[in-house]
Structure 1
Amino acid sequence: MSSGFSKPSTLDGIKRLAKNIKRERNIPHHLALDTAAVEAGYQNIRHAQEQLQARIAQGFKVFLTAYWAAGRAEAGRETLSIQLPKPLGDIIARHQFTAARNLGWFHLESADHLERRIDLNSQATARDVLLTAARTLHFMAATGLRPATTQKQERPMRVFDGLPGRDHQSYWFDGDTGAWVFLDEPYPHVDVEQRRAWAQQRDIRIVSAKWDGLHNPGSAVPYVFCVDETLADRLPGQLERLQASGERGWDGESASYFSQFVGPARQASGAPRRPRPMPAPRGVARNGALPYGGRGAGQSSLWRPAKRMSLETHLTIGPLLYALDHESFPGPQRRTIGRVRSTLDDWLQLEYPGDEMSSEQFNEAYYGKYREPIVARAAQLDAIRSIATKLRDGYPSCGPRDKLISLLANVETRLGKSASGKPL
Structure 2
Amino acid sequence: MSPTAIHPTSLASLKRHAKSIGRELGIAHHEALDEAARRAGFKDLRDAQEHLAKPAVPFEHSAFLTAYWEERTDLLDESTKIGCGRLTLQLPLRMPLGELVSEVSLENTPYLRGFILEASDHLETRLDCCSEDDAYTALGRAARALLFMAGTGLAGEPSIERELRAPFLSDHCSYWYDPETKEPVTLSEPYSNYISDSDRDSLKWSDLHLAETSWKGIYSPGRAHPLIFSRSEDLIQRLEQQLSAMVESYKWVKPGIDTGSYAAQFYSPGRRASGIERTPRPMPSPLGVVRNGSLPYGSRTGGEASLWRPAEPMPLAFHMQIGPILYALTYSQDEHPAKKLAYEAWSDLSQWVCHEYLPSEDLNIDTISVYEGPLLLHYDDNQQRLSALSKVIELLDSGYRDCSPKREILKTLGRAEALLRKQLS
The TM-score, its normalising length taken from structure 1, stands at: 0.67
Match of 1:154 in 2: 160
1:413–1:180 distance in 2 versus 1, CA, 3 Å: farther
The one-letter code sitting in structure 2 at the alignment partner of 1:218 is: G
Distance in 2 (CA, whole Å) between partners of 1:342 and 1:353 is 18
User: Could you tell me which of 302, 308, 333 is aligned with 2:307?
Assistant: 302
SS at match of 1:62: strand
Match of 2:46 in 1: none
Residues 188-245 of structure 1: CA deviation (Å, up to 9, x unaligned): 3999777767765554x24323243332333344443444555444333333333444
Match of 2:241 in 1: 237
The one-letter code sitting in structure 2 at the alignment partner of 1:87 is: P
1:173-322 to 2 correspondences below 5 Å: 173-176=177-180, 178-188=182-192, 203=207, 205-210=208-213, 211-228=215-232, 231-246=235-250, 251-322=256-327
The one-letter code sitting in structure 1 at the alignment partner of 2:298 is: G
SS at match of 1:258: coil
1:183–1:58 distance in 2 versus 1, CA, 3 Å: closer
1:330-341 to 2 correspondences below 5 Å: 340-341=345-346
Distance in 2 (CA, whole Å) between partners of 1:84 and 1:222 is 22
Match of 1:67 in 2: 68
Match of 2:367 in 1: 362
Distance in 1 (CA, whole Å) between partners of 2:71 and 2:56 is 41
Q: Please report how far the alpha carbon of residue 146 of structure 1 lies from its aligned counterpart in structure 2 after TM superposition.
A: 2.6
Q: Please report how far the alpha carbon of residue 90 of structure 1 lies from its aligned counterpart in structure 2 after TM superposition.
A: 1.6
The one-letter code sitting in structure 2 at the alignment partner of 1:95 is: V
Match of 1:46 in 2: none
SS at match of 2:360: helix
Whether contact under 8 Å (2:111, 2:142) holds in the other structure is yes
The one-letter code sitting in structure 2 at the alignment partner of 1:68 is: W
The TM-score, its normalising length taken from structure 2, stands at: 0.67
SS at match of 1:238: helix
Distance in 1 (CA, whole Å) between partners of 2:189 and 2:315 is 48
Structure 1 unaligned residues grouped into runs of 5+: 1-11, 13-53
The one-letter code sitting in structure 2 at the alignment partner of 1:65 is: T
Structure 2 unaligned residues grouped into runs of 5+: 1-11, 13-54, 73-80
Q: Please report how far the alpha carbon of residue 81 of structure 1 lies from its aligned counterpart in structure 2 after TM superposition.
A: 0.4
Distance in 2 (CA, whole Å) between partners of 1:65 and 1:185 is 25
1:276–1:364 distance in 2 versus 1, CA, 3 Å: closer
Match of 2:3 in 1: none
The one-letter code sitting in structure 2 at the alignment partner of 1:305 is: P
Residues 358-381 of structure 1: CA deviation (Å, up to 9, x unaligned): 5853353234x5438979774895
Distance in 2 (CA, whole Å) between partners of 1:410 and 1:171 is 39
Q: Please report how far the alpha carbon of residue 407 of structure 1 lies from its aligned counterpart in structure 2 after TM superposition.
A: 4.7
Q: Please report how far the alpha carbon of residue 131 of structure 1 lies from its aligned counterpart in structure 2 after TM superposition.
A: 1.7
1:261–1:333 distance in 2 versus 1, CA, 3 Å: farther
Distance in 1 (CA, whole Å) between partners of 2:415 and 2:345 is 12
Distance in 2 (CA, whole Å) between partners of 1:380 and 1:223 is 57
Whether contact under 8 Å (2:167, 2:206) holds in the other structure is no
Q: Is the aligned partner of 1:130 residue 2:139?
A: yes
1:77–1:398 distance in 2 versus 1, CA, 3 Å: same
Q: Please report how far the alpha carbon of residue 109 of structure 1 lies from its aligned counterpart in structure 2 after TM superposition.
A: 1.6
The one-letter code sitting in structure 2 at the alignment partner of 1:180 is: P
User: Could you tell me which of 93, 110, 119 is aligned with 2:102?
Assistant: 93
Q: Is the aligned partner of 1:172 residue 2:181?
A: no
Distance in 2 (CA, whole Å) between partners of 1:374 and 1:214 is 52
Q: For this pair of structures, how many residues does the alignment match?
A: 360
Whether contact under 8 Å (1:207, 1:235) holds in the other structure is no
The one-letter code sitting in structure 2 at the alignment partner of 1:156 is: R
Distance in 1 (CA, whole Å) between partners of 2:298 and 2:153 is 38
1:235–1:396 distance in 2 versus 1, CA, 3 Å: farther
Whether contact under 8 Å (1:67, 1:77) holds in the other structure is yes
Q: Please report how far the alpha carbon of residue 336 of structure 1 lies from its aligned counterpart in structure 2 after TM superposition.
A: 6.4
Match of 2:90 in 1: 81
The one-letter code sitting in structure 2 at the alignment partner of 1:154 is: I
Percent identity over the alignment is 35
By percentage of residues, which structure has more helix? 1
The one-letter code sitting in structure 1 at the alignment partner of 2:287 is: R
Distance in 1 (CA, whole Å) between partners of 2:384 and 2:232 is 43
Distance in 1 (CA, whole Å) between partners of 2:211 and 2:206 is 17
Q: Which moved more, 1:126-135 or 1:175-184?
A: 175-184
Instruction: Return the index of the structure with the highest Cα Rg.
Output: 2
